Amino acid sequence: MKAASYPCPLPHCGSSTEYALAFDSGRMRRILLIPALLDEGNRMRRFSVEVMRRLDGAGFDCFLPDLPGTNESTVDLASVAPSDWHSATAAAASAFGATHVLAIRGGGLLWPEDLPGWHYGAVKGASLLRTLLRARVIAAREAGREETAEALLAEANERGIELAGYPLSAAMVRELSALAPTPRSNVQVIDQDLLGGSPLWLRAEPDEDAGQADALAAVIAMSLNA
């Protein structure tokens, strides 16, 4: 594994150089991994890297890009919308010469056009927002404040909001609310039942599961070697 980078278009013109993790041996089949989004991305990053390790061992190059405003990016997340992330995944796919995509959870909402691949744990953008809003309501209640998801969402659509430590613009909230996975004939949807165990995105803290990483990598390797 090594550090890599790719040129990424920025909101309101311009560009930045964003970081990526890479297993790159110049092989023919090259998989772009689009990470889960926001808090789920944090919870599942170690799992994502472990899947990449296994795919590398099976003979496939893999790339995990930072999206603008996430991880090592110097871009302010509050200035970013999902359309900017979609542009970033397209730029990363081009820069790394991706032949396939593995999208995890909300990462599948940012699919680069036409590339084949796999979508693990497909989810709608509105569902991601509801989960974050519910967590904020619970935290407020524990702190002695009363908030409702409905009022928070209305505020977020007008002025933006901070959820789980992530400053989200109104544009981010509105666009994410409207996004849903697009059925694609060249994309295999992988449900949690195929991997076994409980979903890592539902766990209280970032975690990993070697068995689930083995299972997901095996599904992809068998598909590529069929």
pLDDT of residue 11: 73
Number of independent structural domains in the chain: 2
Task: Indicate if 66 and 161 belong to the same structural domain.
Answer: no
Range list of H helices, the chain: 38-57, 82-95, 125-142, 149-159, 170-178, 192-195, 210-225
Give the closest residue to 70 by CA, choosing from 91, 42, 49: 42
Query: What CATH number has the domain bearing residue 84?
Result: 3.40.50.1820
Q: Residue 216: which of 1, 110, 200 has the closest Cα?
A: 200
Does pTM surpass 0.75?
yes
**Residue 13: its pLDDT value, please?**
65
**Same domain? 27 vs 74:** yes
If asked whether residues 62 and 136 sit together in one domain, one would say no
Q: Are residues 53 and 118 in the same domain?
A: yes
The answer to whether residues 85 and 173 belong to one domain is: no
DSSP per residue, 58-81: TT-EEEEEPPTTSTT--S-GGG--
For 29, residues 6+ apart whose C-beta sits below 8 A from its C-beta are 59, 60, 61, 99, 100, 224
Same domain, residue pair 48 and 73: yes
Q: Could you list the residue range(s) of the whole structural domain that residue 66 is in?
A: 2-123+182-225
93 and 200 belong to one structural domain: yes
| Same domain, residue pair 108 and 145 | no
Q: What is the pLDDT of residues 126-150, one digit of tens each?
A: 999 999 999 999 988 888 899 999 9
